[in-house]
Amino acid sequence: MSPIRLTVVMTHPVQYAAPWFRHIAARCPEIDLTVLYAIEPTAAQQGVGFGTEFLWDVPLTDGYRCRVVRPARPGDTVGSESFWGLNVPEIGGAVRESEPDVVLLPGWHSITLLRALWACRRDRIPVLYRGDSHLATAPSGWRRPAWTIRTWLLLRLFAGYLSVGRKAEAYLRRFVPPSRIVAVPHAVDNDFFARGAAPYRDPAARATVRSSWGLCVRDFVVLSVGKLEAKKRPVDLIQAIAHQAPGASLLVVGSGGLHGRCREEAERLGVNVAWAGFLNQSELGRAYAAADCLVLPSDRRETWGLVVNEALATGLPCVVSDEVGCAPDLIVRGETGEVF
């Protein structure tokens, strides 16, 4: 029996998806995988929202068959918040040229993904959905009925649905038959993050890492990893640390638009904060090893929270808000962390 020709369409290479694609290519002979990337962003485009220009320091396109449809252009935006930020009309032709039996799309947050969906519908190619939207992300008021109708209409264009977690499954069950939903959980390369933290686990190495960020070996270190933006509620986290017992410190990995506001609040409340700035993938192990727990206090717009996967892969317990998408899947109270 010939393998199923699966084409995955993405707006751009993503550090979390590449290990999954390599795993499929290496260990799933029943799947003939092709990944289409609309563009490969420049360092400036990749760095939007991170506070610095950068490229990921792990391989994103090695170990599986992939194609970048066109070069990045000035004005391209790969953030999921900008529907019109990346418009690649050539994506439909690229899908057709890959000769797929089935196509996988991560939703419709970009016009480029919708173009791919339209092309598949035109050519009668079945399409699978795999996204992390959930019911709490729906707008309120008069916009909610319009959102419901739009979501129902768009989801009906897919042939099947891959659920990344419990909240995503509840969202899908609201609109499509449960028999067409299959669990395919969000994941990271656990071995990669465990290896990255391992060299800093012994007491001497851990103390050295803490010292490099101005943290005391006796501190209880709370870790925050991510952009300093409203949906992640970093100011709330600083205020919460201010109410902890003496010896609690905060290690902030990341930057963003709220960096100045966060610094002001930490100084006003006298919270000891180490500002590590942006750390690339291969550098994160030091932060996870130095911390005593990760806290992700995000609001409902945090549709998953893959930093929780990363932290747990290193053995670090996590405290997350009940609005974070991964909370019911990854947090077992008293074992892997707590939910508030």
Residues 111-135 pLDDT 10s? 999 999 999 999 999 999 999 999 9
pLDDT at residue 1 in the model? 83
Q: What is the number of residues in the chain?
A: 340
Tell me the per-residue pLDDT of 56-83, one tens digit each, with 9 for 90 and over: 999 999 999 999 999 999 999 998 889 9
Give all domains of the chain, ordered by start, each with its CATH number. 4-183 (3.40.50.2000), 190-339 (3.40.50.2000)
Helices (H), the chain: 17-27, 43-46, 91-97, 111-122, 143-155, 166-173, 190-197, 203-212, 234-242, 259-269, 284-290, 306-313, 327-330
Q: Are 295 and 265 in contact, with CB atoms under 8 Å apart? A: no
The contacts of residue 110 (CB under 8 Å, 6+ apart) are: 11, 38, 80, 82, 83, 85, 86
Q: Tell me how far apart the alpha carbons of residues 100 and 120 are, in angstroms, rounded to a whole number.
A: 10
pLDDT at residue 290 in the model? 98
Task: Please count the other Cβ atoms lying within 10 Å of the Cβ belonging to residue 24.
Answer: 19
CA atoms within 13 A on the CB side of 186: 26
pTM: 0.95
Please identify which residue in the block is written with the tokens 């550098």. Answer: 283
Q: Are 201 and 34 in contact, with CB atoms under 8 Å apart? A: no
Q: Are 121 and 157 in contact, with CB atoms under 8 Å apart? A: yes
Strand arrangement of the beta sheet that strand 31-37 belongs to: 66-68, 31-37, 4-10, 102-105, 127-129, 160-163, 181-183
Please identify which residue in the block is written with the tokens 């060299």. Answer: 199
Q: What is the pLDDT along the chain (340 residues), one digit of tens a residue?
A: 899 999 999 999 999 999 999 999 999 999 999 999 999 999 999 999 898 999 999 999 999 999 999 999 999 999 888 999 999 999 999 999 999 999 999 999 999 999 999 999 999 999 999 999 999 999 999 999 999 999 999 999 999 999 999 999 999 999 999 999 999 999 999 999 999 999 999 999 999 999 999 999 999 999 999 999 999 999 999 999 999 988 999 999 999 999 999 999 999 999 999 999 999 999 999 999 999 999 999 999 999 999 999 999 999 999 999 999 999 999 999 999 999 9
